[in-house]
A and B are shown apart, each in its own frame.
Chain A
Amino acid sequence: MTVSGQPNLKELERRAWRSMHEDGLWELFLGTLLLVLYVTTLVEGAGWQLGVNLVLTIGLVVLAKVAKRTITIPRMGVAKFGHARRQKRKKTTVLLLFSAVFGAGLAFALGSGTGLSNWMRSNVELFNVFAGAWVLVVFGGMAYWLDLPRLLFVGLAYALVFSHILPVSTAMIALVGGTITTVFGLIMLIRFMRKYPLPNGAELHDNG
């Protein structure tokens, strides 16, 4: 509330926006994505690894969308936010698409056997630090534009996986980081479902 007893509109809008993301689905999605990375390392052969990763990732995207529609919306309702929020979401999408294409390009370059791949292999430590920093930039952008600072912590887990700075295997970091993030997401989801139980039939179907 402001001095004049009126609600602070900016804060009100932010609270409404964040309440739509209290469900922990971002953490569940990103955590299980890390676990998919771990599973991928168990598969032998680059082609199989890519296939398994792609199928599981697409499955997770579909699952996240279904969960939003069947868990969050029936409990929280829906709202169409303003132009500024939509612009920020677009920026996040562009950033994610760009980093996916950039990452795929780097992976392709690494396996191409060209001068660039030789350079990357001979400067692997520098390359890893760059990868970790890039991941942090991407998650920083997501946290800022989506107005969800907690995504930075998830970004930290991803950065540890991609930067290889810990003296533990990447698979192990992905497993631990993915498990912690997923458990955190699950706790958030349970809290969300308790805080916002399904409204009764009348509220759902005869509202207004």
Chain B
Amino acid sequence: MTTDEHDTRGTMPPWEIDRLIHEPARLMIMSYLFVVESADFLFLMRQTGMTQGNLSSHLSKLEQAGYIEVEKKFVGKKPRTMIRATGPGREAFQDYRQRMERIFEESKGE
């Protein structure tokens, strides 16, 4: 999903879901970033069990969509990459959860 697609999320039909977040690895990343204020790359790698390359590529996609912010800084002499979910990223994640819950609720009634 591109940023443009993200912008049209408000007009998305109720049965459609954000496919950028729906991908299991990115869903896991967004879930962790939703429950913490920020985390570094290593923390996300440990929690999700992803490899460095895999995590990097998913983070790039989420960053391009404006769902996360990546900040590189130095702690002493060591570089640290801090990642946090942006406001739109949190909204998109909440919206995704509500849509999924609605879909499952409706499918239960059928």
- A residues adjacent to B (C-beta < 8 A): 3-7, 9, 12-13, 15-16, 19, 75-82, 196, 199, 202-208
Contacts and interface: CB of A to CB of B under 8 A. Distances in A.
5 contacts: A9-B31, A76-B42, A77-B44, A203-B41, A203-B52
Nearest to A5: B100
A76 B42 CA distance: 6
Contacts, number: 90
Interface of B: 27-28, 31-32, 34-47, 52, 56, 59, 70, 72, 78-81, 83, 97, 100-101, 103-104
A200 B47 CA distance: 17
Contacts of A202: 52
Identify whether the interface residues of B are mostly helix, strand, loop, or mixed: helix
A208 B41 contact: yes
Contact of B104 (A4, A196, A207): A4
Given A4-B101, A82-B35, A76 B46 contact: yes
A94 B46 CA distance: 32
A204 B43 CA distance: 11
